[in-house]
Every structure is written in structure tokens, then in C-alpha cells.
Amino acid sequence: MNILVCIKQVPDIEKIKIDSAKNEMIMTGVPNIVNQFDTYALETAVRIKDANPETRVIVVTMGPAQTKDALKNCLSVGADKAYMICDDILSDSDTLVTSYVLSQAAKVIEEREGQPFSLFLCGKQAADGDTGHVGPQLAEYLGLPQITSAMEISIDGNKVLVRRLTEEGAEIKAAEMPALVTMSQTEYEPRYASVKTKMAANRAEIPVLTASDLGLDAACVGLGGSPSKLIKTFVPERKKGGLKIEEETGELSAQKLVALLSDAGAI
Amino acid sequence: MSGYKNIWALVEVQGGQVKSIGLEMLVGGRRLADAVSEKLVAIVMGLDTKEAVKAAVSYGADQVIVLDGNDYGEYNTEGYTYALEQLINKYKPSAMLIGASINGRDLAPRLAARLKTGLAADCTGAEIDAATGTISWTRPAYGGNTMAIVETPEARPQLATVRASVYKRGEPDTQRSAEIIEESIELPAGIVRTSIIEKIAEVAEGIKLEDAEVVISGGRGVGNVENFEMLKELASILNGAVGASRAAVDAGWISHLYQVGQTGKTVSPKLYIACGMSGAIQHLAGMSGSDRVVAINRDPDAPIFEVADYGIVGSIKEVVPALIAEIKKLKA
Ligand SMILES: Cc1cc2nc3c(=O)[nH]c(=O)nc-3n(C[C@H](O)[C@H](O)[C@H](O)COP(=O)(O)OP(=O)(O)OC[C@H]3O[C@@H](n4cnc5c(N)ncnc54)[C@H](O)[C@@H]3O)c2cc1C
Ligand SMILES: Nc1ncnc2c1ncn2[C@@H]1O[C@H](COP(=O)(O)O)[C@@H](O)[C@H]1O
């Protein structure tokens, strides 16, 4: 079976610092990485392939030219093939448009690969916008059942079984394939690339799909085609230098804290 | 766009119990509706919805649309999406608030794609323009490093998922009355293509984490299960709930039900006491909405101190027992 993993390149949010004078994020020097939830999605797909060797894992991303690096990364840790959707008219698309474009791309890739996808995997959410919309919206455009926030996936014949967290604990959900699953954190860590797999990934040819390859109408994509508009961003006010309590002993510190909290009416 | 009016709030019922986040959506929806002099409509969905309908009225609904039936007893993406699509096409609301719970964040994007409308995720605020009815949603991005304002200016309804505890529930007003409309929508056969094979329910002890006004949260620095018991004691004397970082959950000291953060729950209590945790961005994403933050960490350079109002540099083994003793004295 073929699995399509949708990945996104995002800035490594752990490396973002705040310029408190200007009250903005400092993005220079922040490396771009494959969105962490997407790395779990890819690892899960590759594990399915490990257990079912006839499986092919294909990754796709929509983004600017530099996202090729993210795809190479994916190729070095087990993806068989990567496609890149890249076109200037796609910039500033919201999640609805992104999902639409991905759905069109999925159909084109199926055709080129000569086989439909049985399973579509996305990350639970991308670390830039933190929306978690694209998985369910892609499922809608493709007319597929969806299961979100998976921690573990197994394949049973033509069914996908998913363990996911719920507000009450956990549950096992099933859907007949083709289906779309979004991945949360897994218990296993994604594998590392080796020098050899990195070199192979570097040599790999990554087909680029443009808006016209996907039959996209310029009016329906990008900012103009997006119903959600980003109006502005701002850095939230930080708690500037909260009070540090460093008394002689932990006991004295605790006493001081309780007095402060009680004066503030917090306890 | 004309013809779309009124603010909707989704109120989910499970096992005959109203989900509290749905009532919070009514509190938020009430403000928006008042600002444009429109109606606040509660969409109550589930099985055995009688109590929930009453609750919806007492929390501010002017009108309640009820969908009660076996099809809705258990949340499922496709059935809920289908039914809401029908209702939205029939009544044409201007906006709909959906709680940013696990279900809400599964449902809202699917529904938005079905309706080809805009959606704001995991919002922490909303302002409505009285002239246009367009809502400016405030929402965190980049793990809470930044806030974004998003709008759906040209499509209706405007959809959003809204975080728990953004709109705090006040006292219900049991004197209120509202128009109740019972709808029945039968799901076409085969529309629901996922099934629940097994449910592994864990009963959370004490106050629910999402609803707690005080959260005592433990990280890797708590060290062991026995020390977690101390946190539970502190939580219980402060009428609060226990939370945890991913590291503490991974260590097996506490169930994942208590994990706070990007892969866990989002909390916004009045007081959040972070014990023995470094303050990783994925954790902060789940608690940055807390009113007051206390951090206890033996490393004076731990990033958690940057978001703390009060920070104690010290070991939790020493500080927490002293806190317990001191608060007991205060309460005596
Ligand atoms: C995709 C993704 C999603 C994630 N989602 C989440 C999430 O939802 N929630 C979450 O919490 N994490 C999440 N994480 C993990 C997160 O990045 C951190 O690894 C985690 O939060 C660290 O937990 P911690 O602070 O308890 O442990 P550590 O970072 O190890 O910090 C332990 C702290 O305890 C202090 N300490 C040690 N001993 C003592 C003592 N005796 N007294 C006082 N202090 C002491 C240390 O100084 C240190 O600062 C996620 C990670 C990824 C990649
Ligand atoms: N531009 C994109 N290209 C490919 N996949 C994407 C893109 N944007 C989002 N996704 C997928 O959808 C998931 C959720 O993203 P988001 O809705 O942006 O939070 C990500 O984890 C990816 O799997």
C-alpha cells in the first residue's frame, strides 16, 4: 500500500528568543526543521513499511523553495519519494486553501505513482500556526474518514486502528482505509539519518508541482482565496522579572511565598 | 453575507452530562451577541439533553436548538459535521463558538472545510465590530511566543474554537427563560465511517484539571511518585488539581490525563504552581493563560522563572512540605 505523509517546514520554536525592547520575536538564526509532530507521522509510516515491505511512503509539502531541505530530511529517514508543491501564487494561503491544494496534489501524485493512497498521515498541528486544521480539512476535501491525535497506529487488513487520547483517558478507534490520521507524540522517537542515507537523499530527484500542474485557479488560492485573514501579530506582554524568593532555607522561602500569595488574595 | 445573524455556541452532552466548556462558550457568546444586539443560540447536541438545555438557558442562551438522539450520544466527526451543516444552512448564524477540546478541535476544521468558511483555532479572546459583525479573534501561535489577530471578513458563519477557561462561568441564573427548538436530523446510513473499538476510561481524582482554579504541577524535578503525593496534598488543601509535564508523565509518576501543554491539556487557573519543571515552550503553551504563576526550581536559571510572578529557588523536597505546613497554618 502507499502512504502519503504531509509535512511542513517550521522554525524551531524552542530557539526563538524575544526582543523585549522591540517586543518582537527574533527569527534570525532560528533554524528551520520538519514540524515535530510530522516527524512522528513519518516515523509511524516508515514503521508500517518495516512491517509490510510492499508499502511505499511518499512525503509532500507545500512551501517556498527552501522546504526542499525538509523533504531531503524525510528522504534520509525512510521516505521513498518526496514531492514539493511550490508556486508564488500559493503564498499566504490559509489552512483551508492549503488543504485544498494538498488534496489536488494527492490526486496528481496518485496518478503519477500509478496507485491510490491507502493512508494519509499529518501531524496533529504545525508549530508555527498551531492550528491543527490541515489534517481534518484535507480529509474533508478527499472525502475520507479522519482520526485525530493518534499516539499509535496499526494496520489490520484494510482497516487502520488508532490509539488516541481522549478527555476521559484513551480509546481505540478504527476506520476502513483509505483514511486520514493526524499524529500526536508517539512513544517511540523518530530514527536518525546515517551518512549513507543522507547522501542518497541529497541525490534524490524531488519533483516540483506548480499551481498549473495541480489545475489550480489563481483566484481560489493564496491570500485572495483564503477566507481566514491574518490581521496582525504581536508579542504578548511578558511578566517582566517576577519576584525571586531566595531565603536562607526552603522553609523561609515558603513562608515568604505564602505571605505574598495571601496578601495578593491568591490563596 | 446578509441574512446571517446570531451567535451560536456548541454545547456538547456526553452521558447525560453537559460539558462545561460548552457553557463557557455561552458566556463568551453572550458578550458578542450583546455587542451587536443579536441572539445567543445554544446548540445542544447529545443524548439525554434535558439537564443540558436547562443549563444552557441559565448560562445565557436566548434560544436553544436541541439535537437529541442515539446518533449524537457519542461524538463522531462525520455525524456531527453533517448535522451541524444542516442546521447552519437552515438558520444561518453569523458566528459559532466551539470549545477547543479534543473533540472541538477535531470537529471545527472539518465543519469549516464543509462550509468553506474561515476558522480561528484555540482562541483566547474575541471582539466584534458592531457595524460589520466581523469578529477579531485573538489566538496564540509559535507555542505562545506570539499572538495573532485573525478574521473571517467575507464568509459566514465565522467559526472559532475557544480555549477552556477563557470565559469563566459565573453563577447560573435559573430565572431565565428561552425559546427551545427541538430539531431532529437523521444521519444517512453509512455516513459515520469510524468506530470506537475500545474505551480506556480513567477516572480523574478530585477536581478536573481543566476546571481547577489552582493547579499544582510537577515535572521531572519532582523525582518520584512519593513526592507527587506531596503535590496532591498541596492541591487538596488549596482546593486545586494536580498537573504534570511530559517528563513526569513519561517517568510514569502520573497518568497522561494530567499532562499540561501542547500534547496535553490547556489550563488557565488563577494560580499555577510549577514544581521542578524547566519551562519548555511545549509546556508553557498549555499554561500561559494562568493568572498567577509560581515556580519552584533549584536551578536559578531555569526558563520557567521568566514566566513566573513568584519564583522560589530551592528544592521541592524542602519547599513543598514547608508550603503545606504554612498554608495549613493560614487556613486553621
Ligand atoms: C512535539 C512535542 C510536544 C510536547 N508536548 C509537551 C506537553 O504537552 N507538555 C509538556 O510538559 N512537555 C511537552 N513536550 C516536552 C517538553 O519539550 C519538555 O521536554 C518537558 O516539558 C520537560 O519537562 P520538565 O520540565 O518536567 O523536565 P526538565 O526539562 O528535565 O526539567 C526539570 C527541572 O526540574 C528541576 N529540578 C530537578 N530537581 C529538582 C528539585 N529537587 N527541586 C526543584 N527543582 C528541581 C531542574 O532544575 C529542571 O529545571 C513536548 C515535546 C515535543 C517535542
Ligand atoms: N504547507 C503544508 N504542506 C504539507 N503539509 C502541511 C502543510 N501545512 C500543514 N500541513 C500538515 O498539516 C498538519 C497540521 O498543520 P496546521 O493545520 O498548520 O497546524 C501538519 O502537521 C502537516 O502534517
- B308 pLDDT more than 80: yes
Question: A160 alpha carbon to ligand 1 midpoint, in Å?
Answer: 32
* Å between A176 CA and nearest CA of chain B: 7
For the stretch B71-114, pLDDT in tens is 999 999 999 999 999 999 999 999 999 999 999 999 999 999 99
pLDDT digits (tens, 9 = 90+) for B178-226: 999 999 999 999 999 999 999 988 776 778 898 899 999 999 999 999 9
Give the amino acid at B204.
A
Considering the domain architecture, whether residues A173 and A208 belong to the same structural domain is answered as yes
Same domain, A90 and A177: yes
Residues of B in contact with A246 (CB under 8 A): 300, 312-314
Determine whether the shortest distance from the Cβ of A148 to ligand 2 is under 6 A. no
pLDDT of residue A240: 67
The number of beta carbons lying within 10 Å of the beta carbon of residue B152 is: 24
Number of domains in chain A: 2
Burial of residue A200 (number of CB atoms within 10 Å: 0-12, 13-18, 19+): middle
- Asked if B257's CB is within 8 angstroms of A127's CB, the reply is no
A167 against A147, higher pLDDT:
A147
Ligand nearest the Cα of residue A189 is 1
Q: Which of A257, A258, A263 to mutate to test the interface with B (most CBs of B within 10 A)?
A: A257
CATH for the stretch B7-183:
3.40.50.620
The fraction of chain A above a pLDDT of 90, given in percent, is: 91
pLDDT in tens, B223-274: 999 999 999 999 999 999 999 999 999 999 999 889 999 999 999 999 999 9
C-alpha A110 – ligand 2 centre gap (Å) = 19
Q: To test ligand 2's pocket by mutation, which of A3, A6, A10, A137 has the most ligand atoms within 8 angstroms of CB?
A: A6
Over chain A, what is the mean pLDDT? Answer: 95
CA distance B297 to B292: 16
Q: B275 C-alpha vs ligand 2 centroid, how far in Å?
A: 34
CATH number of the structural domain spanning residue A38: 3.40.50.620
pLDDT band, residue A169 (cuts 50/70/90): confident
Ligand 2 binding pocket includes A86 (Cβ within 6 Å)? no
Where does residue A66 rank: exposed (0-12), middle (13-18), buried (19+ CB within 10 A)? exposed
Q: Do A140 and B153 touch (CB under 8 A)?
A: no
Interstrand relation of B194-201 and A169-176 (parallel, antiparallel or unpaired): antiparallel
Instruction: Tell me the CA end-to-end span of chain A in Å, nearest whole number.
Output: 58
Residues of B with Cβ-Cβ distance to A129 under 8 angstroms: 121, 141, 148
Interface A-B: count of C-beta contacts within 8 A: 253
Of the residues A12, A18, A102, A140, the best mutation for testing chain B's interface (the one with the most B CB atoms within 10 Å of its CB) is A140
- What are B65's strand-pairing partners? B43, B181
Question: Which residue among A136, A141, A253 places its CB closest to the CB of B314?
Answer: A253
pLDDT value of residue B211: 84
Average pLDDT score over residue span A228-240:
87
Examine domains B7-183 and B209-331 and report if their fold is the same.
Answer: yes
Given the DSSP bridges, would you call strands A159-166 and A146-156 parallel, antiparallel or unpaired? antiparallel
Looking at the structure, tell me whether residues A42 and A164 fall in a common domain: yes
Residue A123 sits in the same domain as residue A146: yes
Instruction: Specify if A231 maps to a domain.
Output: no
**What is the pLDDT at residue A168?**
84
Chain B residues lying within 8 Å of A132, measured CB to CB: 105, 109, 121
Q: If you write DSSP's letter for every residue of chain A in order, what string do you get? A: -EEEEE--EEE-GGG-EEETTTTEEE-TTPPEEE-HHHHHHHHHHHHHHHHSTT-EEEEEEES-GGGHHHHHHHHHTT-SEEEEE--GGGTT--HHHHHHHHHHHHHHHHHHHTS-EEEEEEES--TTT----HHHHHHHHHT--EEEEEEEEEEETTEEEEEEEETTEEEEEEEESSEEEEE---SSPPPPP-HHHHHHHHH----EE-TTTTT--GGGSHHHH-SSEEEEEEPPPP-TTPEEE--SSHHHHHHHHHHHHHHTT--
Q: Is residue A16 part of a domain?
A: yes
Q: Inter-chain contact A132–B105, Cβ cutoff 8 Å?
A: yes
ipTM rounded to 2 decimals: 0.95
Let me know if residue A184 belongs to a domain.
yes
Domain identity same for A167 and A243: no
* A232 lies in some domain: no
Q: Which of B19, B33, B23, B22 is nearest to B169 (CA)?
A: B23
- Is residue A241 predicted with pLDDT exceeding 70? no
User: What's the Rg (C-alpha) of chain A?
Assistant: 22
Q: Given a cut of 70, is residue A248 above it in pLDDT?
A: yes
Whole domain around residue A247: which residue ranges?
237-267
Domain parsing of chain B, residue ranges = 7-183, 209-331
Are residue A90 and residue A184 in the same domain, yes or no? yes
Q: Are B221 and B295 in contact (CB under 8 A)?
A: no
**pLDDT tens-digit profile of B9-60?**
999 999 899 999 999 999 999 999 999 999 999 999 999 999 999 999 999 9
CA nearest neighbour of B125 among B106, B150, B94: B150
- pLDDT at residue B326 in the model: 95
B4 neighbors B36 (Cβ within 8 angstroms): no
Contact between A243 and B77 using a beta-carbon 8 Å cutoff = no
Residue nearest to atom 53 of ligand 1 (CA): A36
Residue A62 domain-assigned (yes or no): yes
pLDDT at A47: 98
Q: Convert the pLDDT of each residue in B153-175 to its tens digit.
A: 999 999 999 998 899 888 999 99
The minimum CA-CA distance between B285 and chain A, rounded to whole Å, is 10
Cα–Cα dist A154/A164, whole Å: 12
The DSSP bridge partners found for residue B149 are A232, B138
**Interface contact B313, partner A, CB < 8 A:** yes
What CATH class has B209-331?
alpha beta
Say yes or no: A7 and A128 in one domain.
yes
pLDDT of residue A105: 98
- Does B95 contact A at CB distance below 8 Å? no
- Residue-level pLDDT at B172: 96
- Report field, pTM of the whole predicted structure over 0.80: yes
- Closest ligand to B243 CA? 1
Show residues of chain A in contact with B238, CB under 8 Å: 267
Which CA distances in Å does A266 have to A237, A246, A261, B208?
A: 21, 20, 5, 19
Long-range contacts, A15-18 (Cβ 8 Å, 24+): A16/B142, A16/B143, A16/B145, A16/B281, A18/A235, A18/A238, A18/B145
Residue A236's pLDDT band (cuts 50, 70, 90): confident
The CB of B263 under 6 Å from ligand 1? The reply is yes
A123 lines ligand 2 (CB under 6 A): yes
A96: in domain: yes
| CA nearest to B20, candidates B55, B45, B66 | B55
Report the Cα B198 to chain-centroid distance in Å: 25
Q: Is the CB of B218 within 6 Å of ligand 1? A: no
pLDDT of residue B165: 84
For A29-80, write each residue's pLDDT tens digit.
Answer: 999 999 999 999 999 999 999 999 999 999 999 999 999 999 999 999 999 9
Q: Nearest ligand, CA of residue A185?
A: 1
